[in-house]
Copies of this chain bind each other. A is one copy, B any other.
Amino acid sequence: MGNLSHEIMTLELAALERWNNGDPDGYLALYDEDITYIDPEQRIEGRENMVRYYEAVRGKVFVESYELQNPVVQPLGEGAAVLSFNLISRAGDRQWPWNCTEVYRRKPDGRWKIAHNHWSLMKQPG
């Protein structure tokens, strides 16, 4: 795994671990001001609106175990990268098979921020 992939995956996994324990602040710290966000129920623009959306679920998300599968990081010029992966999240008897896209951009101070995030559910057999 290259340096870029390592750097991006480290950020993503830290945010995801917090999310899986009811804490949205990892993702909120990564979201850039102009973040665009898609999930099966919402399409949201702007970090302020994401704060409102995630505050409503703070302390309510508990994922007992997960598998992050086949992450791919593609560089986009010097200052950006796109990460895509599958994520199987499990809690009790349920599981959710996610597709995820995270578009990262490097800010002038060198930190990475997420400009776009798209979550969707894989069609399950049957």
Contact = CB atoms under 8 A, between A and B. Distances in A.
By size class, the interface of chain A is: 20 to 34
Contacts of A43: 70, 84, 86, 99, 122
Given A45-B72, A115-B82, A38 B120 contact: yes
A78 interface: yes
Contacts of A76: 76-77, 79-80, 103, 105, 115
Contacts of A41: 122-123
Given A82-B115, A116-B82, A38 B101 contact: yes
Contacts of A116: 74, 82, 84, 101, 103
A118 B118 CA distance: 8
A98 to B, nearest CB: 10
Interface string A104-126: 01100000000110101111000
Interface of A: 34, 36, 38, 40-41, 43, 45, 70, 72, 74, 76-80, 82, 84, 86, 99, 101, 103, 105-106, 115-116, 118, 120-123
